[in-house]
Amino acid sequence: MHGRPRKAPKPEDLAAFSAKAEKLRILQSQFLSNHHQKIYTKEAVELSAKLLEINPECYTAWNYRKLAVQHSLFESNLDPDAVNSILNDELRVVENALRQNFKSYGAWYHRKWVLNKGHSSIENELRLLDKLQNVDPRNFHAWNYRRFVAALLNRSDEDELNHTQDLIDKNISNYSAWHNRSVLVSNLMKKKVQAFLQKDEVLIREYELVRDAVFTDEDDQSGWFYHLWLLDQTVKAESPLLTSSWPAHGSDITLSGDRYLDLGSSPFNTYHVDSGSLPLILYFNQAVEGVNMSTVTVSSGFNVNKDVIWKPILSNNSKTAHVWVGQLKFPKVELDSLGAYTLEVTLGHSQGIISSCGFHYSHPSHFSFTVHVQPAKKEPVDGFGSEKISWRDENFHIYEPDSLESDLVLPLHHLSIKNEHELSDSSWQEKIIDEEISNFRELLDCKIGKLTLARLLTARDALVSSDKSVHSEEVLRLYSELMKLDPPHSQFYKDEHSLILFEKVISGRESLLSYCFRYRNLTSSSSSNPICLRLNGLSLSRLGSFEKLLWVQMLDLSHNELRSIEGLEAMQLLSHLNLSKNKLGSFTSLESLRHLKSLKVLDLSYNEIGAHSVDTTRYLCSSPLCHSIGSEWDGSELVTDGVSLVSYWEAFFILKGLKLTQLDITGNAIADEKFTAFLAEVLPALKWLDGVQLN
């Protein structure tokens, strides 16, 4: 039960307790001797019942009873009457034990065991459950058992759904009932039960119910969660889809071996190939597994190795990933001669790509792009890579595309993969969400009203395939109001605000171009440096919309309020990253960096790394103790040259696999002499550390 204060026991209670304990001890020892001697007489079994009625937590006694039941079932020669009476006895003992403590694991388990013997009836069990759920409607033992009984005895999901309705009618704050309802509704829709065939009708009914709850008491959170779940059901695409790719569909990629040539092509689409391979990046709308040579076909008119090895970019320990990268190997011969090749990528033609929820990639997708190979005129020298990058404003010049190039900018953020699903009708979703939007406009004077409206508007914008986020201004305003209205959760609203702002900034050609700069150092002779996307000083606290930024190689996120860079691992082409003057609190919050294998230049200066004694992100980050990274962590490396890796294991873990040539760490609490020595050790390719050239 909830909200019951604990009272100090009175002296007479204490006396009663000790008397009870004495009695229990005697019972217990008698019972144990019976158990050891395998005595299953009527008296001995009765004794165990007596013990369990006083102390239902005595697991041994439950197990003893199971043995006794088996014994007597054997003795009874399976005479139906005898079997019935034996099992009825067990049910009675469990019921008495539950009366003593309705949250006794042993008792509930024992009942399940009896039921698995095919005993009892659904009426009987539901009667017991109703009694117990009356006492505590959120007793999770009872709920678990209810689901077990319903499944075992084939009670229909509709009946169970009506039961949740009854409980919600009694008290709308019954989380357990709402939760069970979501499970049951999903089941009924999946099974395509009559009246649950039309997804939109089901959802409309459920929206009506939860709307009543939210409007009746806007402070009650159980309804919020159900509404959020419904919204997810409304907009969620079941089967996984390819959201974007690099190279994008229809794009012309210039593959250059030489960094010093002004190729005259769009800097957006120039990729310097050092390793002789071109990365192919696939971004899915949900985490998937099963991306491999048989599920993704790459075909071209020339002699590249089409056996692409696909690797997931794992953000956590699961096997599924949003982002998959394949390396397209170009033979040396091809790279040495000028030429243009068209590559075609097809996926979804055969089953095998499966989302984490178990849905198959069922809509064949296809995209193609052209690669122009620009052979290197001379051997690559230590050029761009070794040059010190200064992120100062005067080194950046707004990018002004000429008319020819401007066409090339478009496909960067506008992926036009032909997905056949787009033919399917999404108007019912729009209708439902429009209805919800108009309802929640009535509830704008409280935080859940604003928050829900913001979520609905965002979902509405996402349904429209175009880049125009019609409601983004309104959503941003709602989140700003929420920050003021509900200061304890302002960080959450700020993050949501940041996501919307981020998307707004990078969506739309005009807007995106105004953040695109060219890096031109005074000393630099190069004019073919990649485009730098400068999203500095926007007070961003969270990043998103990575599917539109797969092309970015140089990114400036300085002067923001980032605490985490979660999701950044999708930007696989990133070679230059500026994260200075943010609120990053630890190396563990930079875990995404581990996956950015192209990263050369990294600025982490003026953050809060090492400033917080408690690193809350540490528990989200995989640790050297966890199995998944065991192979990467070599114990022998733990101590090198007297620098203890143990104290810097997070930094080691994040930076070890990177080939950084330039790193700025100054202005962080962690950055002392010992640490810089450690960095020089861990990053042998490092040429510049905090602006100082290393030997």
Partner 1 sequence: MSEPPSYPQIEPTTFDLIAAGTGLAECIVAAAASASGKTVLHLDTNPFYGSHYSSLSVPELTSFLNSNSTPSSPPSSTSTTTDSLDYSIVNLTTQPVYSDVEISCFYPELLEENLRKINLDLCGPRVLFCADKLIDLMLKSGASHYVEFKSIDASFVGDGNGKLWNVPDSRAAIFKDKSLTLKEKNQLMRFFKLVQGHLVATVAAGSSGDDGNGNDEKEGKTKISDEDLERPFIEYLSNMQLPPKIRSIILYAIAMADYDQNDRGVCQNLLKTKDGIDRLSLYQSSVGKSCTCDLYDILIRNTYCVNYNIILSFLPVLNTTESVGFTNASGALIYPVYGQGELPQAFSRRSAVKGCIYVLRMPVTALLMEKDSGRYKGVRLASGQDIFSQKLVLDPSLTLASPSASPSDLLHGKSLTF
Contact residues: partner 1, CB under 8 A: 168-172, 211-213, 215-219, 439, 442-443
Q: Which of 217, 420 has the CB closer to partner 1?
A: 217
Shortest reach from residue 175's CB to partner 1, in Å: 15
Q: Which of 209, 645 has the CB closer to partner 1?
A: 209
Structural element, H or E, at residue 640: strand 639-640
Question: Which residues make beta-bridge pairs with 398?
Answer: 517
Angle at 453 between CA 228 and CA 476, to 5 degrees: 115
Shortest reach from residue 558's CB to partner 1, in Å: 40
Q: Which of 228, 446 has the CB closer to partner 1?
A: 446
- Which of the 8 DSSP states describes residue 305? B
Of the candidates 234, 199, 237, the one whose C-alpha atom is nearest the C-alpha of residue 363 is 237
Q: Which of 84, 171 has the CB closer to partner 1?
A: 171
Shortest reach from residue 442's CB to partner 1, in Å: 5
* Orientation of helix 140-152 relative to helix 157-170, angle to 10°: 160
d(C-alpha 358, C-alpha 288), whole Å: 9
Provide long-range contacts, Cβ within 8 A and 24+ apart, for 534-537.
Answer: 534/396, 535/502, 535/505, 535/506, 535/560, 536/560, 536/578
Shortest reach from residue 181's CB to partner 1, in Å: 14
Do 648 and 671 touch, CB atoms closer than 8 A? no
Shortest reach from residue 452's CB to partner 1, in Å: 13
Q: Which of 344, 434 has the CB closer to partner 1?
A: 434
Shortest reach from residue 454's CB to partner 1, in Å: 19
Q: Which of 171, 693 has the CB closer to partner 1?
A: 171
Shortest reach from residue 29's CB to partner 1, in Å: 40
Q: Which of 490, 666 has the CB closer to partner 1?
A: 490
Backbone CA torsion sign across 607, 611, 617, 621: positive
Q: Which of 98, 214 has the CB closer to partner 1?
A: 214
Do 505 and 538 touch, CB atoms closer than 8 A? yes
Shortest reach from residue 1's CB to partner 1, in Å: 14
Q: Which of 215, 310 has the CB closer to partner 1?
A: 215
Do 160 and 150 touch, CB atoms closer than 8 A? yes
* DSSP annotation string for 543-586: ---GGG-TT-SEEE--SS--S--TTGGG-TT--EEE--SS----
Do 227 and 433 touch, CB atoms closer than 8 A? no
Shortest reach from residue 204's CB to partner 1, in Å: 15
Q: Which of 139, 439 has the CB closer to partner 1?
A: 439
- C-alpha R_g of the chain: 32
Query: What is the CB neighbour count within 10 angstroms for residue 294?
Result: 10
Parallel, antiparallel, or unpaired for β 531-534 and 662-664?
A: unpaired
Shortest reach from residue 215's CB to partner 1, in Å: 4
Shortest reach from residue 522's CB to partner 1, in Å: 58
Q: Which of 482, 601 has the CB closer to partner 1?
A: 482
d(C-alpha 90, C-alpha 73), whole Å: 12
Q: Which two tokens stand for residue 520?
A: 């031109």
d(C-alpha 582, C-alpha 541), whole Å: 9
